[in-house]
Amino acid sequence: MVMEPTLPNLGVVQPVDSGTTTMTTDSVSPMATPSIDWDALREAARDAQSHAYAPYSNFRVGAAALVDDGRIIAGCNVENASYGMTLCAECAMIGALHMGGGGRLIAVVCFGNDNAVTPCGRCRQLLWEHGGPNLLLEVNGEPRPMSEMLPVAFPEHSVFEN
Ligand SMILES: [Zn+2]
């Protein structure tokens, strides 16, 4: 028998007071949420690919996300000669999130060589930490919550309590 660990109620974000946001009726996570323009996210992710530094794999990746204050942020992958320590586009995007003042992620789209792709396991944990279980990740054209994409994730800020 496999025991499911009891996780704390994560992803509860303080309401954002912004005139440009709309209230959702989501009873799971009541918060002011910017409406998601998936086309704009796809465009930003595709554009981010063009900035990739991928001379070893030639696999150019771009990631883009909607932040809870309405910003769209993006990142590209950055490789180096050690191969194994390649920085994923999601890592660069999270760096951009913090450089821009932080915030919580609402929705994420990733492209690799002009095809929709999904983040690796490491990056799913990274995304979870910055958006929680209700963060939406586009998979095969459909938004799916991080709670499905990374079941039993490390709870943010409490890794050592596992
Ligand atoms: Zn990754």
Task: To the nearest 10°, report the CA torsion of 57, 42, 63, 147.
Answer: -120
Instruction: Give the pLDDT score at 34.
Output: 86
- Which residues contact residue 100 at a Cβ distance below 8 angstroms, ignoring those fewer than 6 apart? 67, 71, 73
- Could you tell me the two tokens for 116? 């929709």
Instruction: Give the pLDDT score at 155.
Output: 79
CATH topology of domain 33-149: Cytidine Deaminase; domain 2 (3.40.140)
pLDDT in tens, the chain (162 residues): 444 444 333 333 333 344 333 434 444 444 567 899 999 999 999 999 999 999 999 999 999 999 999 999 999 999 999 988 999 999 999 999 999 999 999 999 999 999 999 999 999 999 999 999 999 999 999 999 999 999 988 877 765 554
Ligand 1: centre distance to CA 17 (Å): 32
Instruction: Give the pLDDT score at 131.
Output: 97
Instruction: Give the pLDDT score at 70.
Output: 97
Ligand 1: centre distance to CA 120 (Å): 4
Instruction: Give the pLDDT score at 151.
Output: 93
Give me the catalytic one of 4, 79, 90, 148: 90
CA distance 44 to 37: 11
Q: For the packed helices 121-131 and 89-99, what is the interaxial angle rounded to 10 degrees?
A: 20
Assess whether 90 carries a catalytic annotation.
yes
CA distance 40 to 78: 23
- pTM to 2 decimals? 0.78
Ligand 1: centre distance to CA 118 (Å): 9
Instruction: Give the pLDDT score at 6.
Output: 41
Where exactly are the structural domains of the chain?
A: 33-149
Ligand 1: centre distance to CA 124 (Å): 7
